[in-house]
């Protein structure tokens, strides 16, 4: 919207100053040079480029400031119309009388025609480049798809899509992490949250054009239930935090009664999804079968004389509830006459490390195998028959290629996710495995 009675320049300046943004910031975020922005706000159209570029500047600047682009363009048309009307009329050119002659092909005419073709091709190339670099990259946030008015957690994993290899930045939080989208444009980004309203603003920067997407915002309101670990007699847990996102072993610490036994029972609540994509030799997506990590046995540790306790759990990838109890019988099943020990619950999400890592095993019989990590064949293995019992440790930054003539003999564990076996006995497959978010 624009205010009646204001010029275009006054409307733009008022909108920018209302947001407390300076021209330097506007230049960085719109990619429009500051002297052009100043000329628009001063109404000094003589300092602006051609009418086509000026209209593009007005449309982009108005959108950036939250104004109606069409209304701003209408103001511009009203302001420049008097200047156009004051120009003296130009008489139309007189028709040229051309004497009809038979067409004669000469070297000069061929050269002229070639020059015209080159000029047209060059103009088309410039137009394509202008449209490419003037475009705004798309940014879609799929998780959360909408604002979250009541979320019980202190972290969240954002997921979405944008242009390939774009840089994703976050603004508005106490800590603002960044990440890079995959070659397919997908990205995941864990963010920390604080109690109350968290307004998350995402931007994607196209690495090819340098253009920045329109901001995407989500409001996540953290409403903790007010319960305090240990308030009901269970252990007080200081680490990990509720809804923590962890890579690697999970360190658990807290306090209980001095000398008490503290039992930790991990329970899987959300099975993991692969942190990689798989395509076959035809470029088709391979659906990876669902898998859940094996159950983890309870762990019992003793609190010291001050009541402090620590433990380290090696959990598989996925989301887990850690249920902690303490007391003389914390590690045993209570008798029917005994009340169940007080329990403290912490939820954590375990993510795989960056890149691709895991193991590949040949079981039951030998199998032909080709193996490449980041485009480099595995020496002494790739292109040969791998003996039964062969176990290889895999490590790649972005990509692994596997080809085998007997998929039923090949078993894979990758980023904590098990695919066992790769297919049927005697089946020939070729897979390309790409990290979902390279380097992140």
Residues 6+ apart with CB under 8 A from 398: 355, 356, 374, 434, 435, 438, 439
Same domain, yes or no, for 297 and 399?
no
What average pLDDT score do residues 345-361 get? 90
User: Rounded CA gap, 72 and 56, in Å?
Assistant: 11
pLDDT in tens, 215-274: 999 999 876 543 334 444 578 999 999 999 998 899 999 998 888 899 999 999 888 888
Of residues 20 and 108, more confidence is placed in 20
> Lowest-confidence range among 85-94, 156-165, 349-358?
85-94
Same domain, yes or no, for 243 and 308?
yes
User: For residue 86, what pLDDT band results from cuts at 50, 70 and 90?
Assistant: very low
Within-domain flag for 97: no
Among residues 385, 341, 378, the alpha carbon closest in space to that of 359 is found at 378
Specify the number of domains making up the chain. 5
pTM above 0.75, yes or no: no
**Long-range contacts formed by 66-75: CB under 8 A, 24+ apart:** 66/15, 66/19, 67/1, 67/2, 67/11, 67/12, 67/15, 68/1, 68/2, 71/1, 71/2, 72/2, 72/8, 72/11, 72/12, 75/2, 75/7, 75/8, 75/11
pLDDT of residue 225: 46
pLDDT of residue 73: 93
User: Rounded CA gap, 252 and 242, in Å?
Assistant: 12
Q: Which CATH number is 70's domain given? A: 1.10.260.40
What average pLDDT score do residues 327-345 get? 61
Within-domain flag for 103: no
Q: Are 316 and 293 in contact (CB under 8 A)?
A: yes
Q: Which helix (H) or strand (E) holds 217?
A: strand 216-222
Percent of the chain with pLDDT over 90: 52
**pLDDT of 90 higher than 50:** no
pLDDT of residue 391: 94
* Domain ranges, residue 16: 8-85
Same domain, yes or no, for 207 and 241?
no
User: For residue 92, what pLDDT band results from cuts at 50, 70 and 90?
Assistant: very low
pLDDT of residue 99: 46
Sign of CA dihedral 311, 314, 318, 323: negative
pLDDT of residue 394: 93
Of residues 340 and 17, more confidence is placed in 17
Q: What is the DSSP letter of 275?
A: S
Within-domain flag for 91: no
Of residues 151 and 164, more confidence is placed in 164
pLDDT of residue 248: 85
Q: Which CATH number is 289's domain given? A: 2.60.40.10
- 431, β-bridge pairs: 280, 402
pLDDT of residue 437: 63
Q: Are 254 and 324 in contact (CB under 8 A)?
A: yes
pLDDT of residue 227: 36
Among residues 170, 163, 168, the alpha carbon closest in space to that of 208 is found at 163
Within-domain flag for 229: no
Cβ neighbours of 185 (radius 10 Å)? 18
Of residues 100 and 43, more confidence is placed in 43
User: Please, what is the average pLDDT of the chain?
Assistant: 84
Token code pair at residue 107: 């070297």
**pLDDT of 132 higher than 70:** no
Same domain, yes or no, for 188 and 289?
no
pLDDT of residue 47: 87
Same domain, yes or no, for 167 and 204?
yes
Within-domain flag for 231: no
- For 101, the 3-state DSSP assignment is coil
Same domain, yes or no, for 154 and 190?
yes
What average pLDDT score do residues 62-82 get? 89
User: For residue 97, what pLDDT band results from cuts at 50, 70 and 90?
Assistant: very low
Same domain, yes or no, for 27 and 120?
no
pLDDT in tens, 290-317: 877 888 899 999 998 778 999 999 888 8
Q: Give, rounded to a whole angstrom, the gap between the first and last alpha carbons of the chain.
A: 41
What average pLDDT score do residues 105-128 get? 80
User: For residue 33, what pLDDT band results from cuts at 50, 70 and 90?
Assistant: very high
Within-domain flag for 32: yes
Percent of the chain with pLDDT over 70: 85
**pLDDT of 331 higher than 70:** no
> Lowest-confidence range among 174-178, 265-269, 388-392, 414-418?
414-418
Within-domain flag for 95: no
Same domain, yes or no, for 253 and 318?
yes
**pLDDT of 130 higher than 90:** no
Same domain, yes or no, for 73 and 119?
no
What average pLDDT score do residues 365-391 get? 92
Within-domain flag for 34: yes
Of residues 158 and 106, more confidence is placed in 158
Of residues 333 and 379, more confidence is placed in 379
């Amino acid at each position: 919207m624009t205010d009646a009675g204001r010029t275009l320049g006054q409307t733009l300046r008022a909108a920018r100053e209302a947001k407390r943004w300076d021209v330097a910031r506007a230049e960085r975020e719109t990619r429009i040079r500051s002297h052009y922005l100043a000329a628009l706000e001063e109404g000094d159209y003589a300092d602006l480029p051609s009418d086509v570029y000026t209209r593009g500047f007005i449309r982009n600047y108005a959108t950036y400031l939250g104004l109606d682009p069409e209304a701003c363009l209408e103001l511009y048309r009203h302001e420049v119309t008097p200047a156009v009307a004051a120009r003296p009329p130009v008489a139309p050119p007189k028709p040229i009388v051309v004497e009809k002659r038979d067409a004669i092909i000469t070297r000069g005419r061929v050269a002229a025609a070639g020059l015209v073709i080159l000029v047209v091709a060059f103009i088309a190339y410039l137009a394509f480049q202008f449209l490419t670099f003037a475009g705004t990259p798309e940014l879609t946030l799929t998780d959360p798809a909408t604002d979250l008015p009541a979320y019980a957690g202190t972290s969240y994993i954002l997921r979405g899509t944008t242009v390939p290899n774009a840089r994703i930045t976050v603004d508005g939080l106490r800590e603002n992490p960044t990440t890079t989208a995959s070659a397919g444009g997908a990205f995941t980004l864990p963010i920390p949250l604080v109690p109350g309203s968290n307004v998350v603003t995402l931007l994607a920067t196209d690495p090819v054009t340098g253009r920045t997407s329109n901001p995407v915002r989500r409001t996540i309101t953290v409403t903790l239930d007010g319960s305090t670990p240990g308030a009901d007699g269970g252990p007080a847990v200081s680490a990990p935090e509720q809804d923590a996102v962890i890579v690697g072993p999970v360190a658990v610490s807290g306090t209980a009664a001095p000398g008490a036994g503290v039992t930790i029972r991990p329970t899987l609540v959300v099975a993991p999804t692969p942190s990689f994509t798989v395509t076959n030799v035809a470029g088709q997506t391979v659906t990876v079968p669902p898998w859940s990590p094996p159950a983890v046995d309870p762990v019992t540790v003793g609190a010291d004389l001050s009541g402090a306790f620590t433990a380290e759990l090696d959990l598989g990838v996925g989301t887990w509830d850690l249920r902690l109890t303490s007391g003389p019988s914390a590690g045993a099943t209570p008798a029917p006459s005994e009340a169940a020990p007080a329990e403290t619950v912490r939820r954590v999400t375990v993510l795989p490390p960056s890149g691709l890592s895991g193991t590949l095993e040949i079981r039951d019989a030998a199998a032909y195998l080709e193996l490449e990590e980041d485009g480099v064949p595995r020496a002494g293995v790739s292109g040969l028959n791998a003996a039964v019992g062969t176990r290889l440790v895999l490590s790649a930054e972005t990509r692994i290629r596997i080809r085998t003539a007997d998929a039923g003999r090949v078993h894979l564990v990758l980023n904590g996710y098990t695919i066992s076996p790769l297919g049927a006995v005697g089946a020939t497959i070729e897979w390309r495995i790409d990290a979902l978010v390279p380097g992140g």
